[in-house]
Structures are given as C-alpha cells and as structure tokens.
C-alpha cells in the first residue's frame, strides 16, 4: 500500500507531466519549431551611395525624412536632467512614451516636473507600458491625473486575449510642443544610477539624443498611433510641422510596429545595415541574442576584411539568465574572428550600430528576439556627422573599459549556467 508521501510524489509527477505536455502543445501551436527564413541579398548598395537610404527605408517598412541632432548625452544623470529641462521648457504640450519606470528619486523628480507644467496649463499625455511600470503605485498616477495629466497604459492584461500581454511598447520618446523630441534607451528608474544592485554600483552606459526638424511631426504621428490603442482621443490640431533647415540630415525612422516571425522592421534595418557595410560594423546591445543568420552575416563581414566588433554587458547584467544565454551565442562569432567586448564598469544599456563611420542606428531596440519579434520599438538611422562622431566616441570609450572575450574563454564556460540555463533561456526568449 502506498504511503502518503509516495502518493504525494506520484501526483506531483503527474502534475509535472501534464504541465509539460501543455507547454509543449502550446509551444507547438505558437510555432516554436517552425523554420526561420534566412536573410540573403545580392549586390547590396554601399552606404556612401545616394540611393542607400531610399533602398533601406523601402525594404524595412521605414519612413525616410529629415532632421537635425541638437543634443546628445551619454551619462544617466545627464540624460535625466536633459529630460527634466525639456519638460520644464514646454509651453503647450508634452507627449511621453516609455516602457520602464520604478519607484525612486528619478520617478519622483519626473512626476514633480510633469505636475509643474500641468498646473501651468500645458497639455500632457503619458503613454506608459502597463507591465514595465507595474511597480509604481496607483496613487502615483492618480495624483497626476487629478491635475489634468492624461495617462494611457499600453496593453494591459485582459482575460479575453491573455497571450497578447507578451507584446510591450519598449519605446522611449519625449516630444515637447511638437518642436523637438528626445529619443534613447533609458528608463525612469534609479537602476541607471547604479544604486539598486550589489554587483553593479556604477552608473549604466546609455545614450539619448535630441532631434528637431520635420522628423518631429512624424514622431508625433507614431506616438498617436499607440495613444489610440489605449482609447486616447486624438487632437490633430496639436500637430506642428517645423520649418526646414539647411542643416537637416536624412533620417530613417523605424517604428518596429507589429513585428512577426515573418517580418521584423527592426531586424531588417539592422541586418541590411550589416550586409551593406564596407569597412566597419560596431554593434552595441545589452541583451545580445543573435540568431544563426545574423551570426553568419557578421562572420561573413569579418571574413571580407571588415572591422566587426560587439560591445555588450558582462555578468553585471541586470538579467543574469539572459547574459548566460547571450554568452552561448559567442562561439561561432569568436571562431569567425568577430571581436566581442564585455563592458566592465557597470551595465551597458545603449543600443548602437555604427556602419562605416557614415551611418548610425540608435533608439530603443536591442539585438534580441524580443525587440525583433514581440516589442513595439523605435529606432532612428542617420548620417548626421556629429551624431556619428558622438556614437563612435562612446564605442571607443566602451571598448577601452571592456574585457575582450577569447574563444578559449568561451570553451571553458560553465556547464550549468551557460550551456544548460543559457540554452533554456534562448529557447524561451524566442517564444515570449
């Protein structure tokens, strides 16, 4: 006769088997084992030819426009101050979309700045991700709503479509009076100051830029698209179309909206940039999870004599399992000669791609499946000379403060953390 303990473990085993079967079926219907298309192009245009931006915008579902970079910051404290100063300058409207906010000094300072402008009569719309801001209390938002701030929570959970909750807005966009916009990767969280993790006590590496010109009105339209998802009312009179300037540069906006396994605008932009490069590919991403096709493209570029380097986070990552998963991808890249640098002082959160000292891509998108296939992202590609120089400088400082990973380092990686946990995370990352 079975004992109570034996019965308990028997039912526990049955439960695990049932849950495992349900997960397997769920992953099957979600397409976990589908074949993934490889991206191949013949005769890619050089980044220095005039048709390059037109071709890239067309094949990536992007928007070709003009604008000028009027500000650039690469330190978290300066980025936060730049946002607060921009908010303080608003006279008519503030539109802000973001993914990540947590309780702390940064969130409090942000609320204070927003409240001051709201009481001054400025029309304010905050579009915040329901998952990324879940740690903030209801009272935090109610205080702002009480003084007239309009707030929409992007994609809240609903039992009518529970799987849809995986889709997030990962954008970081601040538009002031329809005249200038700030775009980058930083959240409103004290994490960026290195104050909330014992193994990461220095400020994170991140960047933010300020844009003016025609591009701002298009970014306003992109904001409004998401605003309507949450039931927000659209006032088209708020659209401002800035005058053109002789300093305006060509810019490509890639919203990364509604990505799917069939097509990801963000992935297409980055992969085509890599394919078209002739001299240099410098890529930075805190969560670096390339698929085999992307690895092949990077290795092929290296074999063609290009300077191919990856700047990513070390084990100081705020998501350790993702770091282990990222490390698993190093093997084929290192064997192919690609240089991989792990930033040592702190977490690197900047998302950057430098092509031939001519074009840069930056914004909210990481080089990982979540940014490619699940998130709503916002990247900007431009040949603005000053921005190119600024981002190149950030790369150079980042490489100087990094440890270069060798193939022998990778071959000696941990069995449990890297090979087992890392590969498990890699599989799940493609599905969530």
Read off the pLDDT of residues 277-328 as tens digits, 9 standing for 90 and up: 999 999 999 999 999 999 999 999 999 999 999 999 999 898 999 999 999 9
CB atoms within 10 A of CB 121: 9
Read off the pLDDT of residues 352-389 as tens digits, 9 standing for 90 and up: 999 999 999 999 999 999 999 889 999 999 999 999 99
CB atoms within 10 A of CB 342: 23
The ranges assigned to domains in the chain are 36-61+253-429, 67-238
**Token pair of 249 as six digits:** 């540069």
* CATH class entry, domain 67-238: alpha beta
Give pLDDT, residue 30. Answer: 60
CATH number for the domain whose boundaries are 36-61+253-429: 3.30.870.10
pLDDT tens, per residue, the chain with 432 residues: 557 676 766 777 777 777 767 666 665 666 656 666 677 788 899 999 999 999 999 999 999 999 999 999 999 999 999 999 999 999 999 999 999 999 999 999 999 999 999 999 999 999 999 999 999 999 999 999 999 999 999 989 888 877 778 889 999 999 999 999 999 999 999 999 987 666 777 899 999 999 999 999 999 999 999 998 777 777 776 666 666 665 789 999 999 887 776 789 999 999 999 999 999 999 999 999 999 999 999 999 999 999 999 999 999 898 999 999 999 999 999 999 999 999 999 999 999 999 999 999 999 999 999 999 889 999 999 999 999 999 999 999 999 999 999 999 999 998 888 888 888 888 777 655
List the one residue out of 231, 189, 219, 218 whose CA is nearest residue 206. Answer: 189
Give pLDDT, residue 40. Answer: 77
Cα 187 from Cα 287, distance rounded (Å): 15
The answer to whether domain 36-61+253-429 and domain 67-238 are alike in fold is: yes
Residue linked to tokens 């479509």: 161
Give pLDDT, residue 3. Answer: 73
Q: What is the 3-state secondary structure (H, E, C) of the chain?
A: CCCHHHHHHHHHHHHHHHHHHHHHHHHHHHCCCCCCCCCCCCCCCCCCCCCHHHHHHHHCCCEEEEEEEEEEECCHHHHHHHHHHHHHHCCCEEEEEECCECCCHHHHHHHHHHHHHHHCCCEEEEEEECCCCCCCCHHHHHHHHHCCCEEEEECCCCCCCHHHHHCCECCCEEEECCCEEEEECCCECHHHHCCCECCECCCCECCEEEEECHHHHHHHHHHHHHHHHCCCCCCHHHCCCCCCCCCCEEEEEECCCCCCCCCCHHHHHHHHHHHHCCCEEEEECCCCCCCHHHHHHHHHHHHCCCEEEEEEECCCCCCHHHHHHHHHCHHHHHHCCCEEEEECCCCECCCEEEECCCEEEEECCCCCHHHHHCCECCEEEECCHHHHHHHHHHHHHHHHCEEECCHHHHHCCCHHHHHHHHHHHHHHHCCC
Cα 68 from Cα 250, distance rounded (Å): 9
Give pLDDT, residue 144. Answer: 98
> Could you tell me the CA-to-CA distances from 157 to 48, 127, 188, 255 in Å, in that order?
46, 16, 22, 23
- Residue 80 · residue 107 · CB < 8 Å: no
């Amino acid at each position: 006769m079975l004992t109570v303990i034996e019965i308990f473990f028997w039912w526990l085993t049955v439960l695990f088997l049932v849950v495992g079967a349900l997960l397997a079926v769920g992953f099957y219907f979600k397409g976990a084992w589908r074949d993934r298309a490889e991206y191949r192009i013949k005769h890619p245009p050089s980044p220095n030819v005039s048709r390059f931006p037109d071709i890239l915008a067309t094949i990536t579902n992007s928007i070709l426009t003009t604008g000028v970079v009027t500000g650039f910051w690469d330190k978290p404290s300066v980025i936060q101050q730049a946002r607060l100063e921009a908010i303080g300058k608003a006279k008519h409207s503030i539109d802000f979309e973001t993914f990540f906010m947590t309780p702390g000094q940064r969130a409090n300072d942000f609320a204070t700045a927003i409240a001051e402008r709201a009481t001054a009569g400025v029309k304010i719309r905050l579009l915040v991700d329901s998952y990324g801001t879940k740690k903030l209390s209801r009272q935090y938002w109610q205080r702002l709503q009480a003084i007239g701030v309009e707030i929409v929570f992007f994609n809240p959970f609903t039992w009518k479509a529970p799987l849809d909750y995986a889709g997030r807005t990962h954008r970081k966009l601040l538009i002031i009076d329809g005249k200038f916009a700030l775009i980058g990767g930083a959240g409103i969280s004290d994490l960026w100051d290195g104050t909330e993790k014992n193994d990461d006590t220095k400020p994170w590496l991140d960047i933010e830029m300020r844009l003016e010109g025609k591009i701002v009105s298009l970014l306003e339209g992109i904001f409004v698209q998401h605003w309507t998802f949450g039931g927000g009312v659209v006032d088209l009179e708020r659209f401002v179309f800035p005058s053109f300037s002789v300093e305006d540069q060509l810019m490509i906006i890639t919203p990364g909206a509604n990505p799917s396994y069939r097509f990801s605008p963000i992935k297409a932009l980055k992969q085509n940039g890599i394919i078209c490069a002739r001299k240099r590919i410098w890529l930075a991403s805190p969560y670096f999870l390339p698929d085999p096709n992307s690895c092949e493209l990077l290795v092929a570029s290296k074999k063609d004599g290009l300077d191919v380097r990856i700047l990513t986070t070390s084990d100081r990552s705020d998501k350790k399992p993702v770091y282990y998963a990222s490390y698993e991808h190093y093997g084929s890249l290192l064997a192919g000669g690609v240089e991989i640098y792990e930033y040592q002082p702190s977490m690197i959160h900047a998302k950057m791609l430098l092509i031939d000292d001519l074009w840069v891509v930056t914004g909210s998108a990481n080089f990982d499946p979540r940014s490619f296939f699940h998130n709503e992202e916002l990247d900007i590609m431009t040949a603005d000379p000053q921005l190119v120089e600024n981002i190149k400088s950030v790369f150079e400082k980042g490489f100087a403060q990094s440890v270069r990973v060798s193939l022998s380092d990778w071959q000696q990686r941990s069995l449990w953390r890297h090979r087992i946990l890392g590969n498990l995370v890699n599989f799940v990352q493609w599905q969530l």
